[in-house]
Chains A and B, each alone.
Chain A
Amino acid sequence: MNVGKSWSVVFLMVLVFGVGVFVYGAAAGIWLPPLASEAGLGIDHLFMFILWLTGIAFVATEGAMFWFLWKYNATDNPKPAKFTHGSHTLEVIWTILPAATLLFIAIYQMNAWAESKMRVPKEDDPNVVVLEVRARQFEWRVRYPGVHGGKLGQQGELFTVNDIHVPVNRMVLVHLKSEDVLHSFFLPNMRVKQDAVPGMNIPVWFRPIQEGTYDLACSQLCGWGHYKMMGRLTVESEADYQAYLQDLDRKQNATMPPAPPKAAEEKSE
C-alpha cells in the first residue's frame, strides 16, 4: 500500500466517526430530552426522518469520496482514467433528485409547523388553559386567570414567578410577553420555543401528555444572567392542578390575608 493511498483512509474515518457519534448518542441516551407534548411527536418524527435522510446522503457522498480517493490516487494511476469536462445527464439527475427530495421535505413538514405555530387554540374554548408569561431580566412572571379558568383579566387572578403548573392532556395557551429585552420561552420537553418580544403579545401553545416536572429555559441572549433564567413547568393531573390553584388562591386572594403572598418567593437576584 502506498503512502498517498493511505490518506484516503482519513476521509473514511469521517464516515465511521460521523455515523458512530449519532449511534452512540442515541444508544447511550445522550439524546432528545424525554418528550412530553403532543406536537412534539410530529417534531421528533420529522427530526428522525431528516436524520435518516441526511444520514443516507452522508454515507453515500462521504463513501463515494473515500472510494474515489482510494482508487484514483496518483501512485496507482500514472495517467488519469478519464478526461472529461462533465456530463449533462449526470447534472440533470443530481439536480432533479435532490430538488424533488427537498421539495418533498418542505411540503411534508408544513402540517407540523402549522400545528405548532399557526393554528392558535380558541381562548374561549373551556378546555383550553389560558395563562400569561411575562419575561424580564432574569425571571418568568406567570399570571393565571384564577381558580375557575377562562380568560385573563378577571378578578381573582393568580401570580407566580418561575413556576408554571398545567394540567395534563389539556391544551395550554400562553400569552408570551417581555417587559425589557428579548427572551425566548424554551420548554425542551414540550419541543416549544418562542421569542418573547417587548411590545408584542405572542401566543404559544402545547398539549402536555406526560406528567412530571420539566425545565423552562431562556434561549435568547438577554444579558449577563441569561443562563440563570431558570423556570419550572409542572404537568400534573387535573385534580392536583385544581388543588394547586386553590392553594394559590387561598394565599393570594383571601379577603383578610394573614400572610404575605407567596409571590414573594420571587428570587431577587
Chain B
Amino acid sequence: MSIMTAPSHGLASPGQHLSHTAAHHKPGFLGTYVFSRDHKVIGIQFLFSTLLWFFLGGLLALAVRWQVAWPWTQIPVIGHLFHLQGGQISPEFYTMLVTMHATIMIFLVIIPILAGAFGNFLIPLMIGADDMAFPTLNMLSYWFMWPAFICFMSSFFVAGGAAAAGWTSYPPLSDNPAAAPGSGAGQTLWLIGLACVGVSSMMGSINYMTTIIQMRAPGMTMFRLPLTIWAMFITAVLQAFALPVLTAAAFMQLMDRLLGAGFFMPDGSVVNNTGSTAGGGQPLLWQHLFWFYSHPAVYIMILPAMGMVSDIISCFARKPIFGYKPMVYSIAGIAGLGFVVWGHHMFVSGMNPALGMTFMVSTMMIALPSAIKTFNWLGTIWGGKIQFTTPMLFALSFVSMFIIGGLSGIFMAATPVDIFIHDTYFIVAHFHYVLFAGTAMGVFGAIYFWFPKMFGRMMNEFWGKVHFFFTFIFLNGVFYTMHILGANGFPRRYADHYRFATFAHLQPLNAFMTYCALGLVGVQVIFIINFFYSIFLGPKAGRNPWHANGLEWTAPSPPGHGNFDFQPHVYRGPYEYGSPETTEDYYPQIKPPPEGLPPIDDSHGHH
C-alpha cells in the first residue's frame, strides 16, 4: 500500500490513511513483538541484538588484550571457561579471538546497529511516514541476521574452532582447510554467516532508499531532510552497490573450499605438506573484491553516526547546523570517493606500485570531505548556547575523536609511511578511533538522545554523564597509546610480541592499555543498568523532552502503530534553533510560520 503513495499526494488524506492502517492490523503478541512488521519494533529488536553482541565482542577484545599484555599467563577466574589448557589462551585460539572480535563488532554490531536499529527506528519517524515502504522485507532483514548469529556463535564449537584467518579472511589461509585450525568448518560457517548479513543489509538498504524517496511527508523536500536521513540514504546507496561484490566473493570462497573451484588458489601452493589443491587462481583477487565492499563499508560504519551526531549537536548548541548543504555534499563526496580508494588497503600486497600511487591520491582526497564536516561541526557549536547533556557529550566526543581518527588516516594514506606502519598497531589505533571512539560514542549519544522516543522514558542524566566520563578516559587510555606502539612497528595479530628484541620494551605500555580496556568494559555496566532501569522506571518523557525540531518529536513517545496521530506537514528544515521568527529557541518543522510571513516554498508543486 504505502509504496504507492507519492510524498505530495499519498498522505494528503490522513484520516483515510490512518484508519486503513489501523483496520488492517490486529496482530497478536507474536506479531507485535516477535515477527513484527512495525519499523520501530524491528529497530528495537536490532538494537537489543546488537547491544548483546557488542558486549560479547567486548569480552573477546578483553581476552585479546590480556594475551597481548601478559602472553601465556592464566586468565583469572574465567580462564577455565575457555576450555583451554591451564586457563591460558593458545595461539590457535588467539587467532580466533582476533578474527571473531572484529567479525562480530563489524558485521553484528556496527553495521546493524546503525542501519538496522537507528535506520529502522528513525527513517519513517523523521520523514513523517507511517512505516517503511516494504514492512515484510524489513522484518526479513532482521530475521536474516539470525542464521548469521547462529553461524558465528556455533563456529566456536565445531571441529577446529572458529574462523582464524582474520576478519579480512585472506586466501590461501582461509581457502585451504589445511592452512589453519579455524580454516575448517569454522571458516565455512563464517562465510555462510557473512552471506546472510549481506542479504539482510541488502534488504534493508533497498527499503531505506525506497522509503526516503517515496514516503516523505508533504513539504519534506530532500533539502529539508535531517542529516541523519541524508546519511542513512547515502549509506543505503553504498550498501546496495558495494555489497553484491562481497556476497559474490563470499560465494566464490565457499566454492573454492567446498568444490575446489580455485578462484583464489594459485598453482603449486602446498600448505602444511598436504597435497597441492586446484590452482589457477589469484590470492590478490580476493583482496580486491573484499575491499571493494569493505572500504565503502568503512563509510557505512561511520556516515550514519555522523548524521546522528549532527542532529544532536545542532539541538544542544541551540543553533542551526553550520553549512547544511556542504554537509550533505561532503557525505555524498565521501561515498563517491569511497568507491575508488579500496586499493589503499593493498599498498604492500604485491599490487602494482603504480596503481598504488593512484589509490594514494584518491585516498588523500577523501580526507577533504571529512575535514569539511569537522569544520562545520565546529562552526555549529561556535556562538551557540551549549547544553552539556549526556547525548551532547557523546556527540562532542565523536567530533573530538574523529579528528584523531581522521588525522591518523593521513599517515597511512602516505604510501611510504604505510610501508612501515601497515599491519602494525598504528592501523589498530586508527580504526578504533574511527569505529569505537567515533561510531560507538556517536551511537551511545544516539541511544541517550532517542531513548525517550523509543521507550517513552528518560535515561538518568547523572549516571549517563558518569558513563560518558569514564568511557571517554578509558578509551583514550587504550587506543591513543596504540599510536605509539605503531610507531615502534608493533605488529597486529601476534599472540606474543616479546620474543622480538625490537618489541620487548613495549610490555609495560601494553599492560597499562589492558588495565584501561578492563576499565572500559567495566564501566559499561553503568550503561546497562541505566538502560534497563530507565526502560521500566525512568521518568516519563513526553513528546519532545529536548525541545528539538524534528518530526519524530511531534509523535507520541513511544509512537503507536502508524507513528503519527495527525498528518505532519513540513514548513522548514530541521535545524531552525534560535530563529528570530519565533520567541522560543526552537522551531519545529511542523509549526506553521506566523501570520504575515510568506509560506516558505516547499517546491512540491502544491501551488
Which positions in A face B, CB cutoff 8 Å?
3-4, 7-8, 10-11, 14, 17-18, 21-22, 25, 30-33, 40, 42-43, 46-47, 50-51, 53-54, 57-58, 61-62, 64-65, 68-69, 72-74, 77-87, 90-91, 94-95, 98-99, 102-103, 105-106, 109-110, 112-118, 137, 178-182, 184, 186, 188-189, 191-195, 197-200, 202, 214-215, 217-228, 230
Contact = CB atoms under 8 A, between A and B. Distances in A.
B407 A227 contact: no
Most central of B283, B414, B585 by chain A CB within 10 Å: B414
6 contacts: A43-B420, A90-B379, A137-B272, A180-B179, A224-B90, A230-B500
B318 to A, nearest CB: 5
Contact of B92 (A33, A189, A224, A230): A224
Interface stretch (B76-84, B135-143, B164-172, B539-547): B164-172
Interface in B5-50: none
A98 B423 CA distance: 27
Interface stretch (B225-233, B381-389, B562-570): B381-389
Nearest to B500: A215
Contacts of A95: 326, 368, 372
Interface residues of B, number: 117
B289 interface: no
Interface string B556-586: 0000000000000000000101111000010
Given A7-B388, A116-B416, A197-B350, A33 B410 contact: no
Interface of B: 90-92, 94-95, 98, 164-166, 170-173, 176, 179-181, 266-272, 279, 282-284, 317-326, 348-350, 353-354, 356-357, 360-361, 364-365, 367-368, 371-372, 374-376, 378-379, 381-388, 393, 396-397, 399-401, 403-404, 407-408, 410-411, 414-417, 419-420, 422-424, 469, 472, 476, 480-481, 483-484, 487-489, 491-497, 499-502, 505-506, 509, 575, 577-580, 585
Contact of B365 (A102, A117, A184, A188): A102
Contacts of A105: 364, 410, 414
B348 A184 contact: yes
Contacts of A78: 385
Nearest to A91: B326
Given A50-B410, A181-B172, A221-B170, A198 B283 contact: yes
5 A-B pairs closest in CB distance:
A199-B266, A82-B383, A86-B323, A112-B416, A188-B489
Contacts of B493: 221, 226-227
Contact of B95 (A4, A42, A110, A224): A224
Nearest to B388: A7
Given A21-B484, A30-B509, A191 B419 contact: yes
A193 B173 contact: no
Contacts of B384: 68, 72, 77, 80-82
Contact of B364 (A17, A102, A200): A102
A72 B368 contact: no
A111 B170 CA distance: 30
Contact of A109 (B282, B324, B381, B414): B414
Given A91-B326, A219-B422, A22 B414 contact: no
Nearest to A2: B388
A85 B322 contact: yes
Given A105-B364, A193-B348, A221-B173, A83 B388 contact: no
Given A86-B326, A109-B416, A191-B420, A4 B383 contact: no
B505 A80 contact: no
B465 to A, nearest CB: 8
Contacts of B164: 223-224
A9 B154 CA distance: 46
A83 B372 contact: no
A180 B272 CA distance: 8
Contacts of A4: 386-388
A102 to B, nearest CB: 4
B400 A65 contact: yes
Contacts of A197: 266, 283-284, 349-350
B348 A215 contact: no
Given A74-B318, A106-B364, A195-B350, A58 B484 contact: no
Contacts of B424: 219
A199 B269 contact: yes
Most central of A31, A78, A194 by chain B CB within 10 Å: A194
A65 B164 CA distance: 42
Most central of A57, A218, A219 by chain B CB within 10 Å: A219
Contacts of A118: 353-354
B368 A102 contact: yes
Nearest to A39: B416
Contact of A81 (B360, B383, B404, B499): B383
Given A33-B502, A181-B172, A195-B349, A86 B324 contact: yes
